[in-house]
Structure 1
Amino acid sequence: MFHHAYNSYLEYAYPYDELRPLSCDGVDTWGSYSLTLIDALDTLAVMGNYTEFQRVVEIVTSRANFDANINVSVFETNIRIIGGLLSAHLLSHR
């Protein structure tokens, strides 16, 4: 199920935050950070897909700009962006 959802996000919604499954397009809902990509980092590591994990790390580190003056959901930012980046960092063993 993860691969189906992840590949669909990459095909239809990247670089937007989320995939809208009924219309098969992407939408920026939480700040245009490619949120689903960041959120998937820890799952890629846990599932042992280190090649894709490293590819996504390269994308996130080169593309993400968190210095933006926008309104965000504190809850979503904490659990999906900060949580995703922290868990990916811990699972990368770096």
Structure 2
Amino acid sequence: MSKLDERETRRRKSFVQSVIDQEVKNEPTQEKTEEVLKLKQRAYYLTDDLLKAITIKTAESELDKSGVVREALKLYLADILKNI
């Protein structure tokens, strides 16, 4: 096996390739696009530890960073959200 073939084989098994494959599978659907239209952009200050945790959770799940934060807030604020 040539060096080029070896490198290509390693790339196909890499984390980056798995992310690329995941993005292709998760192309936006009409339903997802409509949900995005309802979102409002805000800016908040977070600690380095929170940012690292969000990044790790993003790598472990199918969500982007905003999705991870939204899900965490939904869990944290569930008691309030059920009354809105």
Question: Which bin holds the TM-score, normalised by the shorter protein?
Answer: under 0.3
Which has the larger strand fraction? 1
